[in-house]
Amino acid sequence: MPEPVKKPVSAFTKRPKAQEAEEGSSVVFEAETEKADAKVRWQCNSKDIASGNKYLILAEGNKHSLTIQTVTKEDASVYAVIAGGSKVKFELKVISKPADAPDTRQDLTGLFTEKPQSGEVTVGENFTFVAKVNAESLLKKPTIRWFKGKWMDLATKCGKHLQLKETYDRSSKVYTFEMQIIAAKANFAGGYRCEVSSKDKFDSCNFELTVHEARAPGGLDIRTAFRRTSTDGNDDSGELDFSALLKKRAVQVHSEPDVDVWNILSKAPPSAYEKIAFQYGITDLRGMLKRLKKMKKEEKKSEAFLKKLDPAYQVSKGQKIKLAVEVADENVEVKWLKNGQELQKSGRYIFESVGNMRYLTINHCSLADDAAYTCVVGEEKCTTELFVKEPPVTITKTLEDQMVMKGERVELECEVSEEGANVKWEKDGVELTRDESFKYRFKKDGCKHVLIINEATKEDCGHYKVKTNGGESVAELLVQEKELEVYQSIADLTVKAKDQAVFKCEVSDENVRGTWYKNGVEVKADPRINITHIGRIHKLTIDEVKPEDEGDYTFVPDGYAFNLSAKLNFIEVKIDFVPRQDPPKIHLDCLGRTADSTIIVVAGNKLRLDVPITGDPAPTVIWTKKEKVNRQVPPGQNVISEGDGRVRVETTMGHCVFTIEGAERQDEGIYSVVVRNPAGEDTADINVKVVDVPDPPQAPKILSVGEDSCVVQWEPPQFDGGQPIIGYVLERKKLRSYRWMRLNFDPFAGTTYEAKRMIEGVPYEMRVYAVNSIGMSRHSPASQPFVPIAPTSEPIGLCVEDISDTSITLKWRAPERIGAAELKGYGIEYCKEGTDEWIPAFQGLTERTTATIRDLNTGDKLLFRVRAYNMAGPSAPATLAQPVTIREIMQRPKIWLPRNLRQTIIKKVGDTVNIMIPFQGKPRPKVSWTKDGEPLSPSIASVRNSELDTILFIRKTDRIHSGQYDLKVEIENVEDTARVTLQIVDLPGPPETLKIVDTWGFNVALEWKPPKDNGNCEISGYNIQKADKKTMEWYTVHDHYRRTHCVVSDLIMGNEYIFRVFSINLVGLSLEPCTTKDSVYIQKTGILYKPPNYKEHDFSEPPKFTHPLVNRSIIAGYSATLSCAVRGIPKPKVTWYKNKMDISNEAKYRMLSKQGVLTLEIRKPCPFDGGVYTCKAVNDCGEDVVECKLEVRLPQQHAYSFFSE
C-alpha cells in the first residue's frame, strides 16, 4: 500500500497579525500553538531576539506573546515566530507622534466630559468609579481601558470583586463607563488609570482608591494568613505560613462555603493564576508560584505500558531509527500511527515483537518522516515526536562580484551540495523576500540557486549574501550610471575632388542613435550623402567630395552631453596646360616639407593618399619610406612597389594612389614620392603619423591597505600611442575569482588611486588601463595579491608593573579589536618629558604583553607608549597618563608562605625536599636560613635565592635533616621571618622482649615492649605472626594491632609454634622482627592437665571521661555537635543535661554513642539553645560528670532584628 501523502500542517492555531503602533507606545503580538510544550522562537529581520529591556517574551501553556516596549522608528520591520517547521511572518508599522502632542497623556484631547475621581472605601464595602465621554464629534465608538498601577489591565480581572459597565444616552450622545468594586479588600488600594481612545484621539486620567481597615472584632485579615515564616527577618524569604488562616477557620463562621484555593490553582492553566489570585486576594504571587511548583502531581500509572516512548527522538536524514516500548502483556498486539494514520508494514517500516518489547524501525529517514508517532495498546496510547535532522548544506560554488549598468538585469548564482535545499538571501544583513513589485526573483534549478534583479538601480549596490545551514558566501554588486564609451573616434580626413570621404565612429551602446552636424548645421541624407548605423558603428559617407563639403563635422549621441568632431580637408588639384615634353610635377597643396604635411591616421584604419601628377610623357612614380635613425642601423630608404600587399602603390593616368590597409605603428614615417620622365623629375615628402592606444602600464604596486581600502600606484606606459595620456581606468577582483570589476568610469588623471568598498580579510588583485584620445590600452599585469586590513585598536590597560634605578617593567592587555590579520607584536617607545622625540625601547617587536626596558638613566622623567602591529601597520598608541621617574621605590620585605608549608612537612628518608617560598621587597632583600637557631650549613641543605623567591633543596634526606628551618628576609633594618618544620621519618626498630606469658587450651598469650627507635614518628601498631616449627611458614595473626600484648587463638593441637612481632609506623613495617626465644607446644586431647589456681581478676572500673567537653561558640541556624569520650566497665549509662535539665527526650537533640565516643547533635540551634551542657556517665562502680558552655551567635546582619523582636 503506498504511503499516504503528508499534508503540511501548521503548528499555530492562532497567528500574530500585522499591527500599527504609535512611537513611544508598546505593542503586543500573540500566538497560540497546537501543543502546550512547543518551543517557540521570535525573530526580527531573520535574527533571533531574546527577552530583555526592549523585548518581553512570555509563554503560558500554548499561548505565546511578544511585547515590544517603547516603540521607535527603528522597530518598524518584519518579525516572525517559529515553532517546529512552521514560520509565520508579520509586520510592525510605526506611526510618528503628532508634533503638537504634549509630554503627558493626561488631557490630551479632552475626550472626558466627567473624569473618575479618587475615593475612599472601608474593607468589605462597595465603590463605583464613573467616567463619561461625549461621542458627538467621534466617528466611531470610543474604547475604554481600566488599569491598576502601570500594567495590570482590569478587563481580565472581572469577577466576584470587580464589574465593568457601559451605557449610552442617545439624546445627549454621551457614553457612561462604570467600574464597580464589590466587597473591597485592603490590597485594592493604590493608583488606577482610565484610558479612552477613538481612532486618532486619546485621553487618559489617573485616580486613587484608599481602603480603610474594618474594626470588626474577629475579622479575618487575608494578609496575615499569607505571612511568611522567616528567621532572618526578611519578608521575601521563607515559606508561606497558613497557620493563622487555618486557626481562624475553626472559629470563624462564614456565610459562604469554604473554598480550597490550592485545589482550584492546581487544576487551572498557568494563564489563569493571576486572575484567581486577584479574585481570592492572594497578593504574594511569587510565594504562590513556589508552593504550586512544590505540589506533587500524582501521575496515573499505565496498566498497558511498562516503559513508554520518550517525548522526542532525533535522527539524521538518510539514517535509520528504532522506536521501542515495553508492554505489560507480552501477547498483546500494538498499532503504530503516524500523524493519526495507521502504518502498514513495508520495506521502510519494520515492526518487531521480542517478549514484552515492541519495536518500530524506520529505514532511510526522510523529511516526510518528521511527524508524531503513536503506539496504541487497547485504549491506552503513548506518543512521541520524531525530528529528522538534515545534513548541513554547503556551498560548492560561491557568488562572484558583479558590476552592471543601471537598468540591466543581474543574476547572482551559486551552487549548493544538495538538490532542493533551502537557502536564504540577504542584502547588507537584511533578508530578501519576494515582494509585490517582483524586484527580486529566486530561481532554483537542482543544486543551482539564482537571485535575479530585473532592473538594477543605484539602491541595489551592496553586499549580497547567500546562507545555508552549513555555510555562506558573499559578493558585491556595483551599479553604475550608463556612460557612453567611445571605442573609436572620428578622424580628420584629407581628400580631393570627386573622392569619397567616410567619417566613422564606434560607441559602447549599440542602441544609441545620433545626429551628424556640419559646422553646426544638421546633415541630412541625400543621394550623395549616406548616413548609416549598424550596431555600435555610425558612419557618414560623402560621395564625390566637392569644395563646399570642406568643414568641421560633428557626431552628437542622443541623450548624452558630449560630441565627436573631425575636420574634412579638401585638396584642390591644380591642372595646368602642359605642353609636350613637360617635366613631371606633383600637384599638392603642401610640398611635404612643413608641419602641415603630416597626415595622422588611427592604427587599424585605412590610409589612402591620391596624389595627382602631370608630365609628358607619363612619368614613372617611385614611393620610398625613410627609415628613422637608429643606433645600430644606418638611415636608409625602402622602395615601395606596386602590388596587392597591405602597403601598396597604384598608378593611373594622372594619379598616383598610396594605400595602407590597417595602419600599424611601424608604418609611421616620412614617405617620399618621386616622379620622373625624360624632361625631369619632381619630389614631395609626406609625413605619416600613426596614432594608437597606449601601451599597457606596468604592474601596479600596493602602497598601503586599510580596513576596506587600499592605495595603489603605477608608472605611466612607455609609449603613449602618439597622443597624450588622458587618464587611467582601474579594475579589481577577488584572488580566486575570474570577474574583474571596474572602479572608475571616467579616466583618472593621476598615478596614485585609493580604492574603497572592499571586504576586510579577502585577498584582491588590481590592474590598470591607460586611456588616450584614441582609446584604451590593454590591461597591465595584475598586482601582487593583497588583503585589505585595518590596524588593530590600541592596546589597553597600559601600566607600570615594576621599576628600579635603571629599568622599568610595563604591562598591558591585547587590543579589543584585532581584525582579520594576525597580530605581529608590540612596539614600545619612550621620550623625555618636554620633548617630542620618541625613541624605540628595543629593536623589533615583542609578542608578550609585558616588557622590561633596561639601561635607563636614574632620575629621568619618561613617557612610555605601546603600539600593536599587524599587516596593516601600527595601531594608535596607548600612552601612560603621566611621566614616570626612573627611581627604585622602597618596598617592605614580606614573605608569602604557602599554605601547605604552614604545617609540618613529613618526608621519608631518602626523599628529595624542594621548598620554594616567594617573597617581595625592594631593593633586593638579604635572605638567610637557620636550622634550630644555628646558621644553615651547606652540607645539610642547598639554598638558591632570586629577586622574588628562595628555594631550600635537599637531594637525599636523612634523620638529621629533621628540625625547624627559619627564613629571614631583611632590607636595611626592616625584616620578615617565616618558619618551616621538617620531619624526616624512617622505618621503626623491632619490638623488644617478646615473651610467652601464658598458654591454655588452643590459646597463647604474648607480651612485648615498644621499640627503642620509633622511626621519628608515632608507632601506629604491630604485626603479629605465627609459624609451625615443622614447616616454618609464617602467617599473620593480627595486623595493625595497637596494644603491646595479645592472645593468639585457634592454634592446632599437637603442633609446636613460635611467634614474631613487627613494628608499624607511617613508613611501614620494621626491617627486623622480634621473635620468641621459646616455642609453645599445644597438648593433645586426653592428657590431663591441672590448671593452676588463679585469683579471678576484677576488670570492673568506675566511669571516667578520657576526653572532656570543650566550650564552644557557634552560629545560629547551623547544626553543631558536642563530643567527649568515656571508659568504664560495665558500660556506663549516659545522660545529657542542659542547664541541669534532662534533655534525653527532646526531639531537637540527638545522642550518639560509638566505641566510647559520646556525641550530642543540636539541630539548627537558635540563641535560646545556649547554656551549660552536662554529660553524666553512671555504672555500678561509680559515676563521672563533665560539662561545657555553649554560646550561640547570630549572624552580624540579623543580630539587630533578632534583639529588636
Q: What are phi and psi of 1060, to 5 degrees?
A: -145, 155
Domain that holds residue 921: 908-984
Question: How confident is the model over 402-434, as pLDDT tens digits?
Answer: 888 888 889 999 999 888 788 898 988 888 887
Cell readout for 666 is: 611601424
Sign of the C-alpha dihedral, residues 780, 785, 790, 796?
A: negative
pLDDT number for residue 628: 55
pLDDT number for residue 580: 58
420 and 361 within one domain = no
118 and 208 within one domain = yes
Of 676-690, 921-935, 1064-1078, 1127-1141, least confident by mean pLDDT is 676-690
759 and 710 within one domain = yes
Out of 182, 212, 242, a domain closes at 212
Q: For 697-718, what is the mean pLDDT? A: 90
Q: pLDDT higher for 213 or 215? A: 213
User: Looking at 743-824, which runs of residues are DSSP E strands?
Assistant: 752-755, 764-772, 796-803, 808-813
Question: How confident is the model over 23-59, as pLDDT tens digits?
Answer: 888 888 888 888 777 788 888 887 888 887 788 888 8
What whole-number distance in Å separates Cα of residue 1104 and Cα of residue 1127?
5
Question: How confident is the model over 709-728, as pLDDT tens digits?
Answer: 899 999 999 988 888 999 99
pLDDT number for residue 97: 67
55 and 128 within one domain = no
pLDDT number for residue 1198: 54
Out of 459, 480, 501, a domain closes at 480
Question: How confident is the model over 316-355, as pLDDT tens digits?
Answer: 888 889 999 999 888 888 999 998 888 888 888 889 888 8
CATH number at residue 644: 2.60.40.10
Peptide bond into 1011 cis (omega under 30): no
Question: How confident is the model over 948-982, as pLDDT tens digits?
Answer: 999 999 999 999 999 999 999 998 888 999 999 99
**Helix (H/G/I), strand (E/B), else coil: 60:** strand
DSSP 665-684: GGG-EEEEEEEEETTEEEEE
567: part of which helix (H) or strand (E)?
strand 564-571
pLDDT number for residue 870: 86
Domain-embedded: residue 34: yes
Split at pLDDT 50, 70, 90, the class of 246 is: very low
The count of C-alpha atoms lying within 13 angstroms of the C-alpha of 12, restricted to the half-sphere facing its C-beta, is 20
Split at pLDDT 50, 70, 90, the class of 74 is: confident
Query: Closest Cα to residue 995, out of 1091, 1071, 1060?
Result: 1060
**Residue with the three cell numbers 532554483:** 444
pLDDT number for residue 927: 93
pLDDT number for residue 150: 67
pLDDT number for residue 645: 67
Q: pLDDT higher for 637 or 1194? A: 1194
The total number of structural domains that make up the chain? 12
In the chain, what percentage of residues exceed pLDDT 90?
A: 28
In the chain, what percentage of residues exceed pLDDT 70?
A: 88
pLDDT number for residue 170: 80
208 and 134 within one domain = yes
Q: For 195-199, what is the mean pLDDT? A: 83
Split at pLDDT 50, 70, 90, the class of 1159 is: very high
pLDDT number for residue 101: 39
Domain-embedded: residue 594: yes
Q: For 371-378, what is the mean pLDDT? A: 90
Cell readout for 369 is: 518522516
pLDDT number for residue 237: 44
567 and 498 within one domain = yes
pLDDT number for residue 450: 93
Domain-embedded: residue 1086: no
DSSP 196-236: EEETTEEEEEEEEEEEEPP--TT---HHHHTEEE-SSS-TT
The whole-chain average pLDDT of the chain stands at: 83
681 and 626 within one domain = yes
Q: For 275-280, what is the mean pLDDT? A: 79
Split at pLDDT 50, 70, 90, the class of 295 is: low
Peptide bond into 617 cis (omega under 30): yes
Out of 539, 571, 603, a domain closes at 571
> Do the beta carbons of residue 761 and residue 820 sit within 8 Å?
yes
**Residue with the three cell numbers 613487627:** 1062
Question: Measured in Å, how far apart are the chain's first and last C-alpha atoms?
Answer: 81
Q: For 634-663, what is the mean pLDDT? A: 71
Answer yes or no: is pLDDT of 744 > 50: yes
| β partners of residue 122 | 212
Answer yes or no: is pLDDT of 1163 > 70: yes
322 and 286 within one domain = no
What whole-number distance in Å separates Cα of residue 364 and Cα of residue 348?
7
Q: For 587-609, what is the mean pLDDT? A: 68
Distances (CA, A) of 731 to 152, 406, 765: 63, 19, 8
Split at pLDDT 50, 70, 90, the class of 256 is: very low
Answer yes or no: is pLDDT of 730 > 50: yes
Split at pLDDT 50, 70, 90, the class of 642 is: low
Domain-embedded: residue 811: yes
Domain-embedded: residue 754: yes
205 and 120 within one domain = yes
Answer yes or no: is pLDDT of 440 > 50: yes
How far is C-alpha 174 from the chain's CA centre?
58
180 and 82 within one domain = no
> Do the beta carbons of residue 33 and residue 13 sit within 8 Å?
yes
**Helix (H/G/I), strand (E/B), else coil: 663:** coil
**Helix (H/G/I), strand (E/B), else coil: 154:** helix
Contacts of 969 (CB under 8 A, 6+ apart): 893, 894, 895, 919, 921, 925, 926, 927, 975, 976, 977
Question: How confident is the model over 897-921, as pLDDT tens digits?
Answer: 999 899 999 999 999 999 999 998 8
Split at pLDDT 50, 70, 90, the class of 578 is: very low
pLDDT number for residue 249: 41
Q: What are phi and psi of 581, to 5 degrees?
A: 60, 35
pLDDT number for residue 1202: 46
Q: Count CB atoms within 10 A of the CB of residue 894.
A: 13
**Residue with the three cell numbers 644606418:** 634
Of 41-50, 527-536, 625-634, least confident by mean pLDDT is 625-634
Q: Tell me which long-range contacts 32-41 makes (C-beta under 8 A, separation of at least 24).
A: 32/62, 32/63, 32/64, 33/62, 33/64, 33/83, 34/62, 35/11, 35/62, 36/61, 36/62, 38/11, 38/62, 38/83, 38/84, 39/83, 39/84, 40/64, 40/81, 40/82, 40/83, 41/81, 41/82, 41/83
Domain-embedded: residue 102: no
Answer yes or no: is pLDDT of 122 > 70: yes
pLDDT number for residue 102: 40
Question: How confident is the model over 833-878, as pLDDT tens digits?
Answer: 888 899 999 888 999 999 999 889 888 899 999 999 987 788 999 9
Q: For 1168-1178, what is the mean pLDDT? A: 92
204 and 120 within one domain = yes
849 and 820 within one domain = yes
Domain-embedded: residue 788: no
Split at pLDDT 50, 70, 90, the class of 484 is: confident
Domain-embedded: residue 1073: yes
DSSP 461-528: -EEEEEEETTEEEEEEEEEE-----EEE----EEEETT--EEEEEEES-TT--EEEEETTEEPPP-SS
Answer yes or no: is pLDDT of 223 > 50: no
Peptide bond into 612 cis (omega under 30): no
Question: How confident is the model over 752-797, as pLDDT tens digits?
Answer: 999 988 888 889 999 999 999 888 899 999 999 988 888 889 999 9
| β partners of residue 589 | none
